[in-house]
Amino acid sequence: MRIAVLNDIHGNLPALEAVLRELHACGVDRIIVGGDVLPGPMAHLVLERLEAEHTPVDFIFGNGEVAILDLLAGRAPALPESYLPSLRWNADRLDDRQRETIADWRLTLRVRAPALGEVLFCHATPRNENEIFTQVTDEERLRPVFDPANASIVVCGHTHMQFDRIVGRTRVINAGSVGMPFGQPGADWVILGTDAEFRHTVYDLSRAAERIRQCGYPAADEFAAKYILNPPSADDMLKAYSKHELTP
């Protein structure tokens, strides 16, 4: 069995399209989407594309989906107020069926992979869709988070940077971000087969940025410039994340 893990797409339809082309060429049996399909510039179209996919697709939710659902329910989303126009724009473009579908996504998913053992998929950590940790977070701080998961491998996302590390008896893999990777521009994802294959898909960034700018998203210009054409460096993001490790 070969499983493609696509995390943190954030409405970047051009990036998803490029990844799906490569994914089909590689031969994949299953796709797991690990949260934060939205918010983002073309998130409703990303959902439509994934729902039309012939390869079986499973979804788990991330903090982005929770923020959208909170907004729809009249609750204050756990994101800075500056995100509200984008969240409202995304929410307004979801039909009733899509809203119900997102509400049914789960926090974690377990899969028995013949070559790898018990694999647990989550967005941030097995216990929370918001917690931040990185490849350099102290292992002893992470063992209470991952030991109870009782999985050979945990595959996560949330911080938009790929890594592969050991925490206690658990191998922890971050699949990176399809739509907003930090570091090298492109799209990051993982295939789980006999081992973990880290993938970086190159696509036409200038054309993608133009499509984003034309879609009407409130933060389209910023998204195109900052997250497609010139994403933050991994070093800068590690420094930023170090101030928020394991805080919900």
* Predicted pLDDT of residue 80: 87
At residue 156, the pLDDT reads 98
- For residue 110, the one-letter residue type is R
Query: d(Cα 224, Cα 239) in Å, to the nearest integer?
Result: 23
How high is the pLDDT of residue 114?
A: 86
pLDDT tens across 190-236, in order?
A: 999 999 999 999 999 999 999 999 999 999 999 999 999 999 999 99
Q: At what angle do helices 63-72 and 96-103 cross, to 10 degrees?
A: 130
> Which of 229, 217, 246 is closest to 85 using CA atoms?
217
What is the predicted pLDDT for the residue at 175? Answer: 98
CA distance 74 to 72: 6
> From the centroid of its chain, how far is CA 159?
8
Determine the straight-line distance between the first and last CA of the chain, rounded to whole angstroms: 34
CATH superfamily of 3-108+177-241: Metallo-dependent phosphatases (3.60.21.10)
Beta pairing class for 117-122 and 108-113: antiparallel
Collect contacts of 170-177 with beta carbons under 8 A, ≥24 apart.
Answer: 170/146, 172/142, 172/146, 174/135, 175/5, 175/6, 175/7, 175/34, 176/7, 176/8, 177/7, 177/8, 177/9, 177/10
Sketch the domain layout of the chain as residue ranges. 3-108+177-241
Nearest to 157 by CA among 118, 125, 195: 125
Alpha helices in the chain (DSSP H): 13-26, 43-51, 63-72, 84-92, 96-103, 139-146, 205-213, 220-222, 234-241
Give the model's pLDDT for residue 248: 64
Closest-CA residue to 57 (of 83, 39, 37): 37
Partners of 174 in the beta sheet?
156, 163
pTM of this prediction? 0.96
How many other β-carbons are positioned within 10 Å of the β-carbon of residue 226?
Answer: 13
Beta bridge pairs of residue 191? 4, 197
Q: Which residues pair with residue 118 across a beta bridge?
A: 112
How many residues in the chain? 248
Can you list the residues of the chain whose pLDDT is less than 70?
Answer: 248
Among candidates 199, 215, 35, 12, which has minimal Cα distance to 123? 35
DSSP assignment string, 112-150: EETTTEEEEEESSBTTBSS-B--TTS-HHHHHHHHGGG-
Name the 3-class secondary structure at 103: helix
